[in-house]
Amino acid sequence: MSVRYRVTLTPEERDYLEDLTKRGKHSVQKITHARALLLCDTSDEKITRTVESVAVTVGVSSRTIEHLKKRFVEEGVDSALTRKPASKPPREIRFDGVFEAKLIALACTSAPEGRCRWTVRLLADKAVELHYTESISKSSVGTILKKTF
């Protein structure tokens, strides 16, 4: 298999990475990536290591090493050491505390006529009927009620 990305560290980058692994307080991931970059360095042509040997030495997968080398070559040392920010925002909250309070209050009322108690399906249908929400599944109702008891 041919080498896709070749890591060649400048003396300044090498000093920075060695300093990072030996001093200060940094996250484990940052230190691990710094060690991996130091092991992947090909500026000293006498020692060449395979991706698999670097992965075993550092304790990560070979795929992680490949991605690390790619980020280093394309974006630089700082980008390789830190995680990129999430591209997708977190999921929006669909049922807030106000909705949950209304649903719990509805569950505490007397059951509809002809029923001895509320079921989660009846509660879901009634919440939609009362325009508390556009739609809700019976499992979501069950989860909300389970949190309260």
Q: How many helices (H) and strands (E) does the chain have?
A: 8, 0
Report the alpha-carbon angle 147-134-121, nearest 5.
50
Residue 1 has pLDDT above 50, yes or no: no
Quote the percentage of the chain above a pLDDT of 70: 95
- Kindly indicate the confidence band of residue 2, based on its pLDDT and cuts at 50, 70 and 90: low
Banded model confidence at residue 42, pLDDT cuts 50, 70, 90: confident
> Residue 89: how many CB atoms within 10 A of its CB?
6
pTM: 0.59
What residue has token string 């309260």? 148
Q: Using one digit for the tens of pLDDT, what is the confidence trace for 46-91?
A: 677 888 999 999 999 999 999 999 999 999 999 889 887 778 878 8
Give the total residue count for the chain: 149
State the average pLDDT over residues 28-35: 92
Band the pLDDT of 37: cuts 50, 70, 90: very high
Phi, psi of 49 (to 5 degrees): -115, 150
Angle among Cα 37, 41, 42 to the nearest 5 degrees reads 160
Instruction: Give residue-wise pLDDT tens across range 102-135.
Output: 999 999 999 989 999 999 999 999 999 999 999 9
Q: How many CB atoms lie within 10 A of CB 120?
A: 19
User: What percent of the chain lies above the pLDDT cut of 90?
Assistant: 55
C-alpha to C-alpha distance for 121 and 135, rounded to whole angstroms: 12
In one letter, which amino acid is 62? S
Coil, helix or strand at residue 132: coil
